[in-house]
Amino acid sequence: MIVGVIGSGGREHAICEILFRSNKISELYCFPGNAGTAKIAKNVDIGTDNFENLKNYILENKIELIIIGPEKPLVDGLVDYLEKFRIKVFGPNKIASQLEGSKIFTKKICKKYQIPTANFGVFKNTNDAHEFLKNSSYPIVIKADNLASGKGVYICENFEESYSAVKEIFNGKFGKANDILIEEFLNGEEMSFFIVSDGVSIQNFGTAQDHKRVLEGDKGKNTGGMGAYSPSRLINEELEKKILDKIIFPTLEALKEIGTEYKGFLYAGLMIIKNEPYLIEFNVRMGDPECQTILPKLNSDLLEIFLACCDKSLKETKIKWNNKKSLCVVLCSKGYPEKYEKNVEIENLNKIKLDNSNYLFHAGTKEKDKKIFAIGGRVLNFVTLSDKFSNARENINKHLSELSWNKGFYRKDIGHKVIDE
C-alpha cells in the first residue's frame, strides 16, 4: 500500500517510523518531512497549506491513504478538501477540528453538555477584559482563542501580568484575535488522555504527562513541550471511566448533534483534582511530544488502525501495547521559545545507539551534504522504553551528554514527579 504523512515535526517522524514497521506498506511519503523522515520515506517539498499541489501529487502518485499530523491543516479543512477527490484521509473534518481551532467553540459545548471545565468568560476587546481583570482573583488563566502552537496560554499571578497578556494577544502575537478567553485557575495536576475514533466507536490510545515549561522545575515560559512520559502516574480505572463518561462521550455526542462525526485522534488535555477530571482543552491530533512517547509502545500494526478508522471498523480492531514505561526528552535550539539561531550543524549524532528500546525522532532538522542542521526551536526527541522511568531518563541524559551540542539545551528533570517525588 502507498501511504503519505503530512507534517514535518517529531510527531510525524514518529508516525512514519511506526508505520514503517508494517509489511503492508510498499511506499511511504512525507509532506514536507525532515531529516529523520528522509531515511524511511520520500520527502516531498510541498507545504501543508498548499492544498491543490498536495492533492495533485497524491493523485498522480496513486497514494492510497493520507495521515495528517499537525493541527493547522486539519482546522483549515484539508480532510474535507482531499475527500472531495475520493482520497482516503485519517483525521477529523473542519467542523470537528474546531474543538482545537476555537477554544470558545469547545467551552460552549462544555457549558451545554455540563462537561467539567474551568469557569470562563469571553472578551472581545482590551478594555472589557482589563475591567474584568481589575476585580478578579489571582492566579488567573488567559488564552488566545485561535491556534497558537501550544504557546497561547498565560497563567497570570497579578493584574500587571494579565494586563500585558491581554495586550499581547489582541496585538496579534498569535495571529488575528477577535476574542480571548479568561478562565479560573484550576489547581491540580495535568494529564494527557488520547482516544482514536472512526466516527462510530472509539478506543483508548494511551495517557501521558508532558512538561510545557522551558526550565527545569516546570518554570519559565510555555513551549510546545519539552518532554513527556507515558503512562501518566495519575491514571486508574475509576478515573478513566470518569474521563470517558463525563468528557469524551458527551463531546462526541455534541458533534453528532451539530451534524458531524469525529474520525481521528482526539487528545484531551485534563486537570486532575482529587481523582476528578476537568477539561483544559482538546487537540484534534496526537500531542507533540506525547506522540513520540506513546507510539513506540504500540505492538499492533498502526496502518491497520488508521484504515479501520477510515473504514468504520475500529470496533473489530484489537490495539495491543507493551507494558514498558516510556520517557521522551526534547532537545531545543538555544533561545527557544524566543529567538534562536537557525541552520546550525548538529554533530556526533552517529554516537547515539538506537534499538527497539531507544528512539531518536527528528523535528526541526534538515539534511544537507550528508550533515544534519537544526532549523527549528524543537530539534530532536530522544525516547527510551524501560521497566522504570528512572532508568529511561538516566539513559537519555547519558546519550545527550555524549552528543555535546553546545548550541542546544534540554531539561534533565523530565518525569520528575513520577521519579523524584
Q: In terms of domains, do 340 and 410 share one?
A: yes
Percent of the chain with pLDDT strictly greater than 90: 83
* 407 to 36, 141, 329, 354, 379: CA distances (angstroms): 19, 33, 16, 23, 11
Residue 81 lies in a domain: yes
Q: Record the cell numbers describing residue 22, joined without a space.
A: 508494517
Residue 113 lies in a domain: no
pTM given for the model: 0.93
Give the pLDDT of residue 153.
85
Domain with residue 307: its CATH number is 3.30.470.20
Q: In terms of domains, do 311 and 331 share one?
A: no
Give the pLDDT of residue 421.
66
Q: In terms of domains, do 194 and 309 share one?
A: yes
- The conformational region for residue 167 under phi > 0 = left, psi -120 to 50 = alpha, else beta, is alpha
Residue 102 lies in a domain: no
How confident is residue 146, by pLDDT bands cut at 50, 70 and 90?
confident
Contacts of 230 (CB under 8 A, 6+ apart): 206, 207, 208, 209, 290, 293, 294, 297, 325, 326
Task: Look at residue 350 and tell me whether its pLDDT is greater than 90.
Answer: no
Give the pLDDT of residue 151.
63
Give the pLDDT of residue 225.
94
Which amino acid makes up residue 195?
Answer: I
Contact present, 176 and 188 (Cβ < 8 Å): no
Q: In terms of domains, do 334 and 296 share one?
A: no
Domain with residue 156: its CATH number is 3.30.1490.20
Domain stop point among 146, 178, 210: 178
For residue 273, what are the domain limits? Answer: 189-316
Does residue 263 sit in helix, strand or coil?
strand
Q: Rounded CA gap, 311 and 309, in Å?
A: 5
Q: In terms of domains, do 162 and 198 share one?
A: no
Q: In terms of domains, do 252 and 230 share one?
A: yes
Q: Rounded CA gap, 253 and 259, in Å?
A: 10
Q: Rounded CA gap, 9 and 281, in Å?
A: 21
Mean pLDDT of the chain: 94
Give the pLDDT of residue 394.
95
Domain stop point among 316, 335, 365: 316
Q: In terms of domains, do 294 and 383 share one?
A: no
Q: In terms of domains, do 298 and 412 share one?
A: no
Give the pLDDT of residue 347.
87
Q: Record the cell numbers describing residue 360, joined without a space.
A: 531518536
Residue 164 lies in a domain: yes
pLDDT tens digits, residue range 22-80?
Answer: 999 999 999 999 999 999 999 999 999 999 999 999 999 999 999 999 999 999 999 99
Q: Rounded CA gap, 310 and 305, in Å?
A: 9
Q: In terms of domains, do 50 and 85 share one?
A: yes
**b/e for 247-284, b at 16 or more Cβ within 10 A?**
bbebbbebbeeeebbbbbbbbbbbbbeeeebbbbbbbb
pLDDT tens digits, residue range 364-410?
Answer: 999 999 999 999 999 999 999 999 999 999 999 998 888 878 899 99
Nearest Cα neighbor of 410 from 148, 225, 191 is: 225
Residue 206 lies in a domain: yes
Domain stop point among 261, 286, 316: 316
pLDDT tens digits, residue range 276-288?
Answer: 999 999 999 999 9
The number of folded domains in the chain is 4
Q: Record the cell numbers describing residue 103, joined without a space.
A: 477554544
Q: In terms of domains, do 377 and 355 share one?
A: yes
Residue 106 lies in a domain: no
Give the pLDDT of residue 135.
83
Residue 89 lies in a domain: yes
How confident is residue 150, by pLDDT bands cut at 50, 70 and 90?
low
Name the more confident of 330 and 153.
330
Q: Rounded CA gap, 103 and 144, in Å?
A: 8
Q: In terms of domains, do 297 and 398 share one?
A: no
pLDDT tens digits, residue range 283-335?
Answer: 999 999 999 999 999 999 999 999 999 999 999 999 999 999 999 999 999 99
Task: Look at residue 81 and tell me whether its pLDDT is greater than 80.
Answer: yes
SS3 of 337-397: the string is CCCCCCCEECCCHHHCCCECCEEEEECCEEEECCEEEECCCEEEEEEEEECCHHHHHHHHH
Domain with residue 89: its CATH number is 3.40.50.20
Contacts of 223 (CB under 8 A, 6+ apart): 150, 151, 212, 213, 214, 332, 336, 337, 377, 378
Instruction: Point out which residues pair with 271 in neighbouring strands.
Output: 190, 278
Q: In terms of domains, do 386 and 269 share one?
A: no
Residue 380 lies in a domain: yes
Give the pLDDT of residue 405.
87
Contacts of 281 (CB under 8 A, 6+ apart): 100, 103, 106, 269
